[in-house]
Amino acid sequence: MVKATAHYVCQECAADYLQWSGRCEACGAWNSISEEAPRDSVPLGTNARSVGKARKRNKGGVEFLDLDGPTADLPRRVTGIAELDRVCGGGLVPGSALLVGGDPGIGKSTLLLQALCALGSQAACVYISGEESTEQVKMRANRLGLADAPVRLAAATNVHAILDSLEVDRKAGGAEVLVIDSIQTMYVDAFDAAPGTVTQVRACAGELVRFAKRHGITVFLVGHVTKEGQIAGPRVVEHMVDTVLYFEGERGHQFRILRAVKNRYGPTDEIGVFEMSDAGLREVANPSSLFLAERPDDVQGAVVFAGIEGTRPLLVEIQALVAPSVLGSPRRAVVGWDGGRLAMTLAVLEARCGLALGGQDVYLNVAGGLRINEPAADLAVAAAIVSSLTGEPLPHNTVVFGEVGLSGEVRGVGQYQTRLKEAAKLGFTRALVPQQTAKAEKRRKSSMEILEIGHLQDLLAHFATAAHVTAERTSQEKSLALKRGKRH
């Protein structure tokens, strides 16, 4: 019998090596390779004898069905938390697995405990914690005013013991919604690797997902995140589950954003907005008005952007500050937006519009702790930068959206009618929009004042100082060109 030898596994990408190395050749991570002991036994159901028995039982193995055949109706379970139901696609699908990730202390456990307590009256709910004792979970429930909810608690980390207990419990009704907090604390005793390693996370997630599919149970898996903000462990876990949710937010803000990045039963990139309070997480039905609640009137460098997050229109304030740099290399600080797109916008403003930004520090912030990913914010960012540079604010009742190209042209964006409708509902009467959007809205005879922006030069016309600087620089360039022509 050949003796099994230990192997080495990268904890970032699950690459397998025969010997230890300081750097993973697959993903390039340093000090991520750790030794994992070999498996003493093969998990039940994967050896040759059990596979042969299964083939004899099934007489061929796999059963095929027609696509147009009858299907069982799977009604969704509505949690009663509207923002969570929105992100999940309208409710929880029986037999689905959801992975929830987020920074420590952001509110993952609080959100799922509130969801279980809301579901307790219509489904059998179980909360299993591998990080806290049952008494600590009860203390949080008392603080949230949920102590009387019919939710059962347990503190365990052995996945096989948990599943065996759930199998026995099914005779008495069983669990219909299960929360595992967190997947990094669970382990399968068939492996000698420590909890939280790639092998254990992958094996535990696989066991729980298969159990959920087999018995029609909705399973929430709480996942830790790395310093880059990605869910810790192998990426294969995100492929195994049906829905991946990220719980985002800045510690200095009370707002929390639940974002779906994968959803087999609903739209992706959908968001739910919550507000953290002493009584737990409170859902925000109209986030646009909340994000703009503390917005002052006529402030230079502040522009309202009409964006779309999933299927929801969202108005947020984009703030920019342009100041002379005292360093050899000016600073570019961004919060809530892509730093690469900011660099591109600054380059277009300087090359195509004649604004001198090379010696200026530029700071950009999306108010409220929200992160914007869509390119439709380009025009709003450019307007905020020009407003701060010239010291001239845009009118308080103006919204801006549009994508900027490298030649300075402003391109149209999708769902513009939804954006303008949300802006009009909140009292905005003017909109700076791409040229094609403006023409379409003028044909519809919109109630808002629509100002078309075909090029960034058209945007500068709304700032007298910027227009004067651009005209002066253009005349200087023309005079220099004439002088060169005379010399030649």
Q: What is the CATH number for 202?
A: 3.40.50.300
Q: Do 454 and 432 form a contact (C-beta atoms < 8 A)?
A: no
What count of other Cβ atoms lies within 10 Å of the Cβ of residue 403?
Answer: 17
270 & 315 share domain:
no
* 307 vs 300: CA distance, rounded Å: 21
Rg (CA), the chain: 28
**Is residue 57 assigned to a domain?**
no
**Is residue 46 assigned to a domain?**
no
Return the DSSP state at 193.
Answer: S
List the domain range (segments joined by +) for residue 178. Answer: 82-285
pLDDT at position 171: 64
Last residue of a domain, one of 285, 317, 344: 285
**Is residue 105 assigned to a domain?**
yes
**Is residue 61 assigned to a domain?**
no
367 & 343 share domain:
yes
- Partners of residue 411 on adjacent β-strands: 403
354: CB partners within 8 A, 6+ apart: 469, 470, 473, 474
* 375 vs 90: CA distance, rounded Å: 27
Residue written as token pair 């409170």: 282
* 360 vs 156: CA distance, rounded Å: 56
268 & 322 share domain:
no
93 & 196 share domain:
yes
Give the length of the chain: 488
What count of other Cβ atoms lies within 10 Å of the Cβ of residue 24?
Answer: 21
253 & 370 share domain:
no
Last residue of a domain, one of 258, 285, 312: 285
How many CA atoms are closer than 13 Å to the CA of 189, on its beta-carbon side?
Answer: 7
| 182 prior amide bond cis, ω within 30 | yes
pLDDT tens for the chain, 488 residues: list them.
445 566 788 877 778 888 888 888 888 888 888 877 655 444 444 444 444 554 555 555 677 888 887 776 678 899 989 999 999 988 999 999 999 998 888 899 999 999 999 998 889 999 999 999 999 999 999 999 998 999 999 999 999 999 999 988 876 567 899 999 989 999 998 888 888 888 899 899 999 999 999 999 999 999 988 776 677 666 788 989 999 999 987 766 788 889 999 999 988 878 898 988 888 899 888 888 878 877 877 789 999 999 998 888 999 999 999 999 988 889 999 999 999 999 999 999 999 998 989 889 999 999 887 889 899 999 999 999 999 999 999 988 999 999 999 999 999 998 899 999 999 988 899 999 999 888 888 777 778 899 999 999 999 988 876 655 555 555 555 455 555 565 55
**Is residue 479 assigned to a domain?**
no
Closest CA relative to residue 420, chosen from 307, 335, 318, 327: 307
pLDDT at position 473: 54
Helix, strand and coil in the chain, % to nearest 5: 35, 25, 40
Query: Burial code of 261-273, b = ≥16 C-beta within 10 A, e = fewer?
Result: ebbebbeebbbbb
Q: Which tokens is 57 given?
A: 């039982």
CATH number of the domain encompassing residue 294? 3.30.230.10
**Is residue 486 assigned to a domain?**
no
Q: Do 175 and 144 form a contact (C-beta atoms < 8 A)?
A: no
Indicate the Cα dihedral angle 394, 400, 406, 411, nearest 10°: -140
> How far lies 37's CA from each of 19, 31, 92, 199, in Å?
12, 18, 38, 10
**Is residue 47 assigned to a domain?**
no
Q: Please state the domain count of the chain.
A: 3
* 282 vs 400: CA distance, rounded Å: 29
pLDDT at position 60: 55
Beta strand residue intervals within 202-340, DSSP E:
218-223, 243-248, 255-263, 271-277, 280-283, 302-309, 312-324, 332-335
265 & 319 share domain:
no
118 & 242 share domain:
yes
303 & 263 share domain:
no
* 312 vs 257: CA distance, rounded Å: 13
State the pTM of this model. Answer: 0.75
Q: Do 433 and 413 form a contact (C-beta atoms < 8 A)?
A: no
* 159 vs 188: CA distance, rounded Å: 6
Query: Which residue type sits at 76?
Result: R
Q: Which tokens is 34 given?
A: 């750790």
126 & 28 share domain:
no
213 & 345 share domain:
no
203 & 328 share domain:
no
Q: Do 408 and 457 form a contact (C-beta atoms < 8 A)?
A: yes
**Is residue 464 assigned to a domain?**
yes
Q: How deeply is 135 buried, as exposed, middle or buried, from its count of CB atoms within 10 A (0-12, 13-18, 19+)?
A: exposed
How many CA atoms are closer than 13 Å to the CA of 77, on its beta-carbon side?
Answer: 22
Last residue of a domain, one of 233, 254, 285: 285
Closest CA relative to residue 412, chosen from 448, 440, 372: 440
Query: Which residue type sits at 167?
Result: E
106 & 25 share domain:
no
